[in-house]
Structure 1
Amino acid sequence: MYLGQCTKDMVRWPRPASPPVLKLEVFYNSEYSMPSTHAMSGTAIPLALVLLSYGRWQDVIVGVLYAILILVVFHPAVDLIDNFNLTYKYAPLIIISLHLALGIFSFTLDTWSTSRGDTAQILGCGAGIACGSHVNYMLGLTVDPSPDALPLAFSPFTVTLFGKAILRLLIGVVCLLLTKIAMKKVTIPLACKLFCIPCDNIRQARQRMEVELPYRYITYGMVGFSLMFFVPCLFLLIGLS
């Protein structure tokens, strides 16, 4: 997604004119269309994206092919990256710094558009999830099953199991929403104050890199970290793990 968003700002291919194209979503008017990041994230359902996304069929096709290319290039290194994220002592520092640097770079490519916030959000989530996984591993909360335990057996489906699953879902969603709301309330005014930006108009303030980048990065970084660490710890504490 990060590569797709940055590529949009380098290619600068505008969205098709409307009319004749029918706009189903006007929020992304200011964002370029090539390649389609919706197609990149939903490569498995490109036909639906042709019908639902506000872009040319070329955007969707390029998005799908671009996603496949990225998978081919990075797939051989997935285990190496995962092992580094989990085991290297200073991995969180490197992860946070790298993702932040990538976010700053993306904000310099072009004028403000919705892709700025999306990019920072993606990077923040990725950094938070990676750091949460690292903490879980270091604390011994993530343990790989022994070879003797494989293959894992499915638990029998019961009403109790279903109820626990629904309860976990509801509690998890509420925790993540509360995290997002709390961090949003803190980061936007704080960024405005630090960089002397008027915050009486939040919409305009968020079009400044000094506000949008830390707001999205920190907020969704905490959401990702909560998803991987705090929420599972809560489940363990209340007996829902």
Structure 2
Amino acid sequence: MWSIVEYLKKPELVVTVQEWFGIKYADSKAEKYMDKEGALYDHNISPNLERNQYSNYPEHKKHRRKQSDESECVSTSNKTSDKNGSNETDIANKGYQITNKFWYYLFVIGTELGDELFYATMIPFWFWNIDGAVGRRVVFVWSVVMYTGQVLKDIIRWPRPGPPVKRLQNKWSIEYGMPSTHAMVAVAMPFSVVIFMLDRYQFTATNGFMIAFVWCLVVCVSRIYLGMHSVADVIAGIVLTICLMIPLVPLIDRLDHFVLSSAFSPLFVIGIPILLITYYPCSDKWTPTRGDTTMIMSVTTGILIGAWLNYQLGAFQPPELTSTRPYEIIWPTHRMLGSMILRTILGLCAVIATRALGKSIAYAFVCMLLGRDQNEVKASESTLENRDKIIVELSYKFFVYGSIGFIVNCLLPNVFKLLGIERPDFYTEI
């Protein structure tokens, strides 16, 4: 059994997948496999570059050095011999050449379906324009699956594929690779949407599961194609998520009623995530997984608190007795489509404003409580020893993203009602 796992972990298997989808490596097998010592490293990037890979976060931009991973893949002599056409230039500068643009763009788009930008747009859109009852359950599944995957990454600590693999993307490189949380969310999100909608709406289950399967396949293969995960990472993510969803789906259906109706629900909805974040397992080095997990847990907390408040205020009413489930899917009219676009634009603007304003206020407030200068904290290096910065960042993320979850599911829908552009079935969300 372990021999199979070791085979699936091999970086050479990733290279095989990349080549099958049209990535041409610089040289023959001899060059690709000669650097066996390189496989001992956690990443096929230099230590200095690794510390600065997480470039999407503003607090790390000051520490980022202006060098690319591409310069690590080739020798100086190769860089100067790029006058024989674009193909030779690509291979000389990058160590690889993309020969099939279709697969490249498909997998670049596919990997974004499991990324932060996708969550930030899809989740609000779903609550504002489709169905809040399904949305709550899907977000619940998402948070449990992602927390499990992120924790296991820092416990198992398996590196991402090393040499001879060439990475077409370096976002998240500083994180460990096992299991692939992209693969986990690729199973959890689309399949949970289909499962929870089956009981509420009239549609062909086969079509729904086919779309979910294609979605999952594209995201999973994209992680191997981009050189970010081994085949073992992806398979482990898929299997783990299936095992989690078997008990989760029926359990969350029951928990949803408790979250909405119990007077003590906020104590659990807020308290449990705080405990899970506080006692998050420590890694052997600083990685962004704990901060990302905090954002996921806090968004879920805000959404559930918003749903609880709506229920307690009487905003959620059971469907009329004449309404029978599963409901017929109502396709939007021109007026409904216009309201949908307006809700989305106004809502996303409010989310962006909340994030910007909330971050400034929360960051400054937590620094004040710790007696630290916020500029000094922002400029300091992110390490396990820098506990003040960890506390500040986790605290502000929990507050800011919890607030975003709350306004998405509670404040903004009520604002839309005042403006006369609310979703017609917002008040049948049980």
Per-residue deviation, 1:156? 5.9
Per-residue deviation, 1:46? 3.3
Per-residue deviation, 1:205? 6.5
Other-structure match for 1:238: 419
Residue 165 (structure 1) aligned to one of 328, 333, 340: 340
Per-residue deviation, 1:50? 2.4
Residue 267 (structure 2) aligned to one of 82, 93, 97: 93
- Establish whether residue 7 from structure 1 lines up as the match of residue 188 from structure 2: no
Counterpart amino acid of 1:32?
Y
Other-structure match for 1:220: 401
Per-residue deviation, 1:56? 0.7
| Amino-acid identity (%) | 32
Q: Distance in 1 between matches of 2:331 and 2:246?
A: 37
Q: Distance in 2 between matches of 1:203 and 1:116?
A: 19
Q: Distance in 1 between matches of 2:255 and 2:404?
A: 22
Contact (CA 8 Å) 1:164, 1:240: kept in 2 or not?
yes
Contact (CA 8 Å) 1:205, 1:211: kept in 2 or not?
no
Per-residue deviation, 1:35? 0.5
Counterpart amino acid of 1:2?
Y
Using a 3 Å threshold, how does the CA distance of structure 1 residues 226 and 205 change in structure 2: closer, same or farther?
farther
- Establish whether residue 49 from structure 1 lines up as the match of residue 220 from structure 2: yes
Stretch of structure 1 that moved more, 133-142 or 104-113: 104-113
Q: Distance in 1 between matches of 2:391 and 2:360?
A: 16
Stretch of structure 1 that moved more, 38-47 or 1-10: 38-47
Residue 238 (structure 2) aligned to one of 64, 67, 89: 64
Other-structure match for 2:75: none
Stretch of structure 1 that moved more, 224-233 or 101-110: 101-110
Q: Which of the two has higher C-alpha Rg? A: 2
The root-mean-square deviation of aligned C-alpha atoms, in Å, is 2.0
Per-residue deviation, 1:187? 1.4
Residue 191 (structure 1) aligned to one of 337, 343, 366: 366
Stretch of structure 1 that moved more, 50-59 or 173-182: 50-59
- Establish whether residue 103 from structure 1 lines up as the match of residue 277 from structure 2: yes
Per-residue deviation, 1:154? 4.7
Per-residue deviation, 1:80? 2.2
Q: Distance in 1 between matches of 2:330 and 2:148?
A: 40
Other-structure match for 1:141: 315
Contact (CA 8 Å) 2:186, 2:219: kept in 1 or not?
no
Residue 357 (structure 2) aligned to one of 157, 162, 182: 182
Per-residue deviation, 1:206? 6.3
Secondary structure of 1:42 counterpart: helix
Other-structure match for 1:29: 173
Contact (CA 8 Å) 1:197, 1:205: kept in 2 or not?
no
The size of the alignment, in residue pairs, is 240
Q: For each residue in 1:29-88, what CA deviation from the matched residue of structure 2 results, as whole angstroms up to 9, or x when unmatched? A: 221110000110012413433224511111111111111111012222112211111111
Secondary structure of 1:23 counterpart: coil
Using a 3 Å threshold, how does the CA distance of structure 1 residues 133 and 25 change in structure 2: closer, same or farther?
same
Counterpart amino acid of 1:131?
I
Secondary structure of 1:182 counterpart: helix
Q: Distance in 2 between matches of 1:113 and 1:146?
A: 50
Other-structure match for 2:305: 131
Contact (CA 8 Å) 2:181, 2:237: kept in 1 or not?
yes
Using a 3 Å threshold, how does the CA distance of structure 1 residues 94 and 56 change in structure 2: closer, same or farther?
same
Residue 380 (structure 2) aligned to one of 187, 191, 204: 204
Other-structure match for 2:184: 40
